Structure 1
């Protein structure tokens, strides 16, 4: 899942990006409000981690403008402003959740997972398709109860497909979700990951829609 992080503290921002990346998220990090505000329109983000005290444009102004423009992306406010009135103001401005600094990255991850589940209308913590079960929080995939070894990109790609059952995802859509602006992506990267997933899950688990993209095969 691709996350937009807007945080001007370089120590916190660097640690948050690195930690969330290790936990399976794809993170783009911006350090000023105006750039972060505009970044929402540059990639298909699944959620935002937003600081409030930002240069150029305050976090609450960013959030209020997004909501005014109809952006429905989940937003987790992450800030040192811990007064009750400020938390209420953030939630009233359209935030979906709120964490005060200092924070644990595992809690940030868990809250983001919950926000993303709600956005996709999937309220169970695990994803299932046929005999395959994926636990995004635990980063595990099981088939008939047997755990399979998965590389991080393979697991992320599988999660994208399982969150969109019945929907064809193009290679471009998959690349935009799997990779940040800092990543270099070769022309056949997605195809390689699809090939590896088919070897592990069965050749018919993921179907190719020629000229369009990929979709999970219907369950029997």
Structure 2
């Protein structure tokens, strides 16, 4: 069972995180202070850390920056009410692996944790493969059923994110923030447009691999029988 360290000073939020992760078979320990959290995290033994941005003792930026200086590479999901782009960029540049703004949907928080855990478990490779779909990470070339796909740069990044998390339902905000690199605007249909284009290219060489997850987003998985 994966183990997550929750560093969060708000008890209600912390209990919400611990409860939701427990529902996904992920054990969580809670620490309410930045310095105490840093000490626990530096001791190792955790598969992932959820880290509040505003903490007593030492703030989240200080915690993650200190961990990276100590060569602790545990994935960090930063969680904060500070949602502007500058704060997000600051958190990621300090060493965070993902950034989730408050208020958040508990199931999306759990999904982001699962994605980071899966990414950490994946061995480094120059190639991704799902069914007859292959992605060359060095040459940035995709093939399906032996046929090369003509992908635009954004389509390639979108396909790589879907393949790295095959079988996982990905929310629109997760896709948008990873592929486009900035905060998701619920009013935009840019994801749906790119998914439709990518689907057409993939389905020109085989059965559907990209599935719509109603009310959530999209998932890349084996062809439906």
Matched residue SS, 2:96: coil
Q: Which residue of 2 aligns with 1:104?
A: 105
Q: In 2, distance between residues paired with 1:60 and 1:124?
A: 36
Deviation per CA, 1:157-180: give whole Å up to 9, x if none.
xxxxxxxxxxxxxxxxxxxxxxxx
Asked if residue 24 in structure 1 is aligned to residue 25 in structure 2, the reply is: yes
1:132-176 superposed Cα distances (whole Å, 9 cap, x missing partner): xxx9969xxxxxxxxxxxxxxxxxxxxxxxxxxxxxxxxxxxxxx
Alpha-carbon distance in structure 1 between the residues aligned to 2:38 and 2:74: 13
- State whether residues 34 and 60 of structure 2, in contact with CA within 8 Å, keep that contact through their aligned partners in structure 1: yes
TM-score by length of 2: 0.54
Task: Give the equivalent residue in structure 2 for 1:48.
Answer: 49
SS at match of 1:55: coil
Higher relative contact order, structure no. (Cα contacts within 8 Å, ≥ 6 residues apart): 1
Closer/same/farther in 2, CA of residues 102 and 121 from structure 1, 3 Å limit? same
Q: Distance in 1 between matches of 2:167 and 2:44?
A: 22
For 1:80 and 1:61, locate their aligned partners in 2 and report how far apart those are by CA, in whole Å: 17
CA contact (8 A) 2:9 2:56 kept: yes
Post-superposition CA distance 1:45-101 (Å, at most 9, x none): 111100010001111000000000101110000110111100000000011000000
CA distance in structure 1 between the aligned counterparts of 2:44 and 2:167, rounded to whole angstroms:
22
Q: Secondary structure at the residue paired with 1:64?
A: helix
2:123 is the alignment partner of 1:114: no
Cα deviation, residue 21, structure 1: 1.0
Structure-to-structure mapping, 1:1-220, within 5 angstroms: 1-121=2-122
**TM-score, normalising length: structure 1:** 0.55
Deviations 1:102-146 (A, max 9, x none): 111111111111111111116789xxxxxxxxx9969xxxxxxxx
Query: How many residues are treated as equivalent by the alignment?
Result: 129
Partner of 1:81, secondary structure, is: coil
Moved over 3 A (4+): 122-125, 135-138
Listed as ranges, the gaps of 5+ residues in structure 1 are 126-134, 139-220
**Residues 169-196 of structure 1: CA deviation (Å, up to 9, x unaligned):** xxxxxxxxxxxxxxxxxxxxxxxxxxxx
